[in-house]
Amino acid sequence: MAKKDGKEEGRTGFWWKVYLVYAFLLVFAVAIVLRMLGVIFVEGDALLAQSDQQSLRYEETEAIRGNIYSADSSLLAVSVPLFTIRMDLHPDVVCKDTFNRYLRPLCDSLHALYPSKTSAQYRQMLLEARRKGSRALLIRRNATYAELARMREFPIFEKGQFRGGFIVEERESRSRPNGYLAARTIGYYNPEVKTGVGLERTYHSELQGVNGMRLVQKSGDIWMPVYSEDEVEPENGHDLITTLDIRIQDVAEAALQKCMEENEAQHGCVVLMEVQTGKVVAIANLRKQEDGRYTESMNYAVGESVEPGSTFKLASTIAILEESNLDTSVKVPTGRLKYYNRWMNDSHRQGWGELSFLEAFEKSSNVGISYLANEVFHSKQGRFVEYLRKMHLDRPLGLEIIGEGEPYVKDPSDKTWSGISLPWMSIGYEVKVTPMQILSLYNAVANDGKMVKPMFVQEIRRGGETVRGFKTTVLVDKICSDATLAKVKGMLEGVVERGTAKNLSNPLYRVAAKTGTAQMNYGDRNRERMTYRASIVGYFPADKPRYSCIVMITNPQKNRVYGGSVAGPVFREIADKVFATLMKGGQEPPVMHPDLADPGVANGYAADIERVYEIIGMEAPVLEPSTFVKLRKAGQGRMDEFSEVALMKEVLPDLRGMGLRDAAYLLERYGLSVKVQGRGRVKRQEPMPGTPCRKGQDVWLYLG
């Protein structure tokens, strides 16, 4: 019995121990819960505030964005460092003795650098921040590097971040040293919304570089760097070398600005491009703001698709000549012409009577060009559109600048196609293209039919080393035949010599161009007045093209609307500057008059030839003064082989190689009518030499 009682007591003691352990654990758990509740509901706010004060984290440090340069190494866009200066006034950082001893000299130095506050005001600000234990008192925002360098020498600040409380936060600010030159083409990029325009956006990944990392600590509401150096250094961005020439860019913008102001135009653009490479040398876009100022708010040259008007007649002329065997001497009507239920008018409603194809182009006759287009393509209208597509007018150029306008070239399958679509498209309506597309077409003519893509960037560099170079991109190997090219080149030169762009003619170099005056609101029945778009596009020097240029002015006022009078002066000013500074000044010798440029063949009036050779210091052959002769080079600069030009009134003489004056004199003696295309010496004549002729007959002289 005693044993049994002992066992019972042992079991009872064991369970009491278990109960005590459970009771302890229960009390401990309750204590933990109570403590958690206390932390959450009693001490939570204070602890969170303390945690915020002591938080650490890693954050990215921005790399320095690459620079953008012009072709002549002028800075167009550069990242300028700006600094925010703060001061840690905690006694653990700036000790009492240091603060009291150097407070006044520090305040005097701050006043000397930033006099907007007195030394006493700086002193009061620092004492108040010291009393509050401020860890990040703002001293200055957007300080420059020069200001930062001065502050590093100030009392207390000279001790650095950990003993002088001198805290520096750096950020990059994008600056354009040349102001608004090519501002829209250079563009911008906003990293916060990750969008932008121009080259800054297109090449953002190359320009931005690779960000670094640094450890920061929260001080109040501000995250401050723990160390003065980044833990992972950023990798700076690459530099862009553009094709822009800052000298010509300045001229282009000034000329465009002057034109816009004089004509009170709504907006306008100008582009200058190298013929063979497609490099854009200058590009400017201006728009009138509400306050009357003109600024670059949109890249119209790249992004605006418009009905071009008469500058589109070059495309139509190429199509007509390619499809038919027509010569530029074929006759066309002018003035007014009705297509179905709609009248087409020339700018001069009375017209010029019957003109040749060449003359109609020179005078920009809507009726004459549309008449031929309708005659050639009336029964095969789709063929006309095919030629436009061959000239790359139905699709974007694929420019590197984002936002290129979409062209619109309708075809007979389009729902809006009608009986008047073909004639109206032939003169630049019911079709939309960008100024860059029109320029590329004319540039292709200057480039012997090869169409190249306009380019804005030629290199990407890093530390002076080329990372990537860009080559010319060919869009179309040949837009038309050589025969057609020869004809349209002469026609474009004729526009300057005798047509709507006479104000571009000058004795130093030859220009080939076409003007355009497009009616913008012709379909608006409620219009109060007609609005226009004036333009001119071409290339120079015409005999050896180096540059092509387009000027487009939208809605000019002052009762001037024609492309030649509104846009022409801008073209002329830019071309003169280019010729004077780039070509005449070093790259090429000035272009001499074709009749004197090469004495290798000198055909004409004998007395004149002898006088020319005397002037240029060369020995002339013995000639009969009263004759017209053909001379051929015998070698060593001597001109001793010659023959007289046959002067038989029954047949045409061989005029090839003669200057225009001598050739015209001979033909007029025959009683023949002289028609001229081009400039220089006679390269071809129609009818051919030896062909029987009659009095009053037209003879075409093709010069070159």
Give CA–CA dist 92/132, Å, rounded.
13
Give CA–CA dist 595/623, Å, rounded.
19
| C-alpha count within 13 angstroms, C-beta hemisphere, residue 559 | 0
As a CATH number, domain 594-703 is 3.30.10.20
| Per-domain residue ranges of the chain | 14-42, 62-241, 246-587, 594-703
Q: Among 84-88, 373-377, 546-550, 585-589, which is the least confidently predicted range?
A: 585-589
DSSP 666: H
pLDDT in tens, 409-466: 999 999 999 999 999 999 999 999 999 999 999 999 999 999 999 999 999 998 778 8
pLDDT in tens, 357-400: 999 999 999 999 999 999 999 999 999 999 999 999 999 999 99
Residue that the structure tokens 């010729």 belong to = 579
pLDDT in tens, 454-481: 999 999 998 778 899 999 999 999 999 9
DSSP string, 172-238: EEEE-TTTTTTHHHH-EEETTTTEEEHHHHHTHHHHH-B-EEEEEEEETTEEEESSSS-SB--BPPP
Give CA–CA dist 122/138, Å, rounded.
11
Q: Which amino acid is at 175?
A: S
Strands 451-452 and 673-677, by their bridges, are unpaired
pLDDT in tens, 487-531: 999 999 999 999 999 999 998 899 999 999 998 877 666 667 788
Nearest to 471 by CA among 485, 455, 484, 483: 455
Asked whether the predicted pLDDT for residue 590 surpasses 90, the reply is no
CATH fold of the domain at 62-241? Penicillin-binding protein 2a (Domain 2) (3.90.1310)
List, in sequence order, the alpha helices (H) in 518-619.
Answer: 563-566, 568-578, 594-597, 606-615
Give CA–CA dist 197/296, Å, rounded.
12
Residue 615 corresponds to which tokens in the numbers above? 């002037």
As a CATH number, domain 246-587 is 3.40.710.10
Residue 351 corresponds to which tokens in the numbers above? 């017209």
Give CA–CA dist 176/67, Å, rounded.
10
Coil, strand or helix: which one is 685?
strand
Provide the CA 429 distance to its chain's centre, in angstroms.
25
